[in-house]
Amino acid sequence: MTAHRFPLADTHIHLEQYTDEQISQMLAEFQEGNGAFVVAVSMNLESSKRTEKLAKQYPDLIHPAYGFHPEQPLPSIKEENALFEWMQQQAQAGQMTAVGEVGLPYYSRLEAIERGDRLDEDGYLRLLERFIVFAAKHDLPIILHAVYEDAPIACELLERHGIRRAHFHWFKGDEHTVNRMITNGYMISFTPDLAYENEIQELALRYPASLVMSETDGPWQFEHAFANRMTHPSMTADVCREWASLRGVSEDEARRQLFENAERFYGR
Ligand SMILES: [Zn+2]
């Protein structure tokens, strides 16, 4: 692996979904390639507890985020309250980097429509607002899964609660919303699909250099050059390389810029 002057950050990975063996090997390899940190997001309370355990094991490398992923059935009120109580303890102990992954169920809604079903839209909105209020109260960054027509709805809620530190991971959406997010100073991040998705490449050309970061959303798998490969935080090096070539800057400059952004947003 080539040593680079500038470090890497994977600002969105579901680390707890890998096995312990995969994690220890992956993180060692990531560090060898000058990987500095990963932001490990969670799906629900159980997943948050596993993320917490990993963050204790690798305190310098893992920045933990806790929340409830929107692309799954809503939790019961009891489950929801248990998650918030637990998160409150983490936040008060200063052991929580961000709220995430939270947002709105774009893909589940499409699936529901296809089966002639409806989702409890109000339920998802109410839960997202509760996470936003929590982030505001504890002054934590928030990691959003809110794409296409869900993005302006998330923007509306963030604005209502005066949130400045929002990260729309793997973002896709319309031009008007992109401009609104830029005005608000919201961050976005690119996955390895920056290498082959036109829609994402266009976004990378528009979105200000000071507001973009690299991520993998691992273990989600990618296509083309990444097909049949386990998604690895070191693939953020490929993201930086693609961003560099799109923006006409050196790979070093891309790594410096994307890392500086991640460090500013998530560093502690
Ligand atoms: Zn994710």
Amino acid 2: pLDDT: 55
Is 55 within 8 Å of 86 (Cβ atoms)?
no
Angle at 95 between CA 94 and CA 101, to 5 degrees: 115
This prediction has a pTM of 0.97
**236 CA → ligand 1 middle, Å:** 15
Q: What CA–CA distances, in Å, run from 87 to 123, 169, 177?
A: 20, 21, 30
Q: What CA–CA distances, in Å, run from 118 to 81, 108, 109, 182, 195?
A: 25, 10, 7, 32, 35
Mean pLDDT of the chain: 97
Torsion of CA 151, 152, 154, 159, to 10 degrees: 140
Neighbours of ion ligand 1 (CB under 5 A): 101, 217
pLDDT at 170 over 50: yes
Nearest residue to 112 via CA among 152, 71, 57, 167: 71
pLDDT (average), residues 167-171: 97
Is 13 within 8 Å of 38 (Cβ atoms)?
yes
Is the dihedral angle over the CA atoms 245, 167, 60, 24 positive or is it negative?
negative
Q: Give residue-wise pLDDT tens across range 40-95.
A: 999 999 999 999 999 999 999 999 999 999 999 999 999 999 999 999 999 999 99
Question: Which residues have C-beta within 8 Å of that of residue 253, sequence separation ≥ 6?
Answer: 244
Is 90 within 8 Å of 132 (Cβ atoms)?
no
Amino acid 179: pLDDT: 98
Domain 8-266 architecture:
Alpha-Beta Barrel (3.20)
**20 CA → ligand 1 middle, Å:** 19
Can you give 104-130 as a three-state secondary structure string?
CCHHHHHHHHHCCCCCCHHHHHHHHHH
**205 CA → ligand 1 middle, Å:** 23
- Structural domain spans, the chain: 8-266
**13 CA → ligand 1 middle, Å:** 6
**41 CA → ligand 1 middle, Å:** 7
**146 CA → ligand 1 middle, Å:** 11
